[in-house]
Structure 1
Amino acid sequence: MTGTDASALAEIHQRLAACTQAGDARKAENYAACFTRDGILELDNQTIAGREAILSWMTAPSVIPQPAGGTPGFISHHLTTCHVDFTGPDSATARTYWLVTSAAGLDHNGFYVDKLRRENGAWLIAHRRPRTLWISPASVLHGRG
């Protein structure tokens, strides 16, 4: 690995962490800024195309229902294993596993499949496809957590 590759890898890891933390904190502008202008967020039930559309999606009410007890809930994504492949001088792919904790404990887990691109000198997410592998019966995703 060259010094340039190592630097790019560190920047990509920082971008993925920043995106995760912004998403958990519902910091919509910071989250959207992690994507290229034409970035795509491909969810199971919808595809959101473009940074402005991603910003609108993040400023809308959360897709995770509030707990039934009326007390505020939380989710916290924890990134684990991440493998990055450079596909060109300004492009890369990454597969990153994640675990989510909530008041229920280990809530759900899965992985991101990301395509990244250097845009205006910064590594950004051009396409993100999250995949959930497991959901706890007590998960906040069920609206009971």
Structure 2
Amino acid sequence: MTDTEVRALAEIHQRLAACTQAGDARKAEAYAGCFTHAGVLELDNETISGRDAILAWMTAPSVIPAPTGGTPGFISHHLTTCSVDFTGPDSATARTYWLVTSAAGLDHNGFYVDRLQYEDGQWLIAHRRPRTLWISPTSVLHGKG
């Protein structure tokens, strides 16, 4: 690995962590800012194209239902294994596994498939496709909790 790739790898890991933390905290501008201007967030049931559309999606009410019983809820994504491959001097792909905890404990898990692009002097997500592998029967995704 070259010195440039080592620096890029550190920047990419920082970007992925920043995106995760902004998403959990519902910091819409910080989350959308992790994507390129033409970035794509490809979900199971919809594809959101462009940073402005990603910002609007993050600003809208959460897709995770509010917990029943009036107790505050939370979700916390924990990034685990991350493999990054450089596909060019300004492009890379990454596959990152994640675990999500909530008040119920281990809530769900999966992985991100990301394409990254060096744009405006920083590594940003050009395309993200999250994939869920498992969901707990008591998951906040079911509106219980």
TM-score grouping bracket, smaller chain normalisation: over 0.9
* Structure-1 residue corresponding to 2:105: 105
TM-superposed CA distance for 1:72, in Å, is 1.5
TM-superposed CA distance for 1:14, in Å, is 0.1
CA distance in 1, matches of 2:42, 2:70: 30
For residues 29-44 of structure 1, the aligned pairs below 5 Å read 29-44=29-44
CA distance in 1, matches of 2:115, 2:121: 16
Partner amino acid for 2:111? F
Partner amino acid for 2:85? D
CA distance in 2, matches of 1:70, 1:135: 23
For residues 1-145 of structure 1, the aligned pairs below 5 Å read 1-145=1-145
List 4+ stretches of structure 1 deviating above 3 A: none
Specify every segment of 5 or more residues in structure 1 that has no aligned partner in the other structure, as ranges. Answer: none
What CA RMSD, in Å, does the superposition of the two structures yield over aligned residues? 0.4
**1:1-21, Cα deviation, whole Å (9 max, x unpaired):** 111000000000000000000
Instruction: Give the match's secondary structure for 1:69.
Output: helix
**What is the percentage of aligned positions where both structures have the same residue?**
84
CA distance in 2, matches of 1:132, 1:54: 20
CA distance in 2, matches of 1:119, 1:133: 31
TM-score with structure 2 setting the length = 0.99
Partner amino acid for 1:16? L
**1:9-37, Cα deviation, whole Å (9 max, x unpaired):** 00000000000000000000000000000
CA distance in 1, matches of 2:95, 2:20: 14
Count, aligned residues: 145
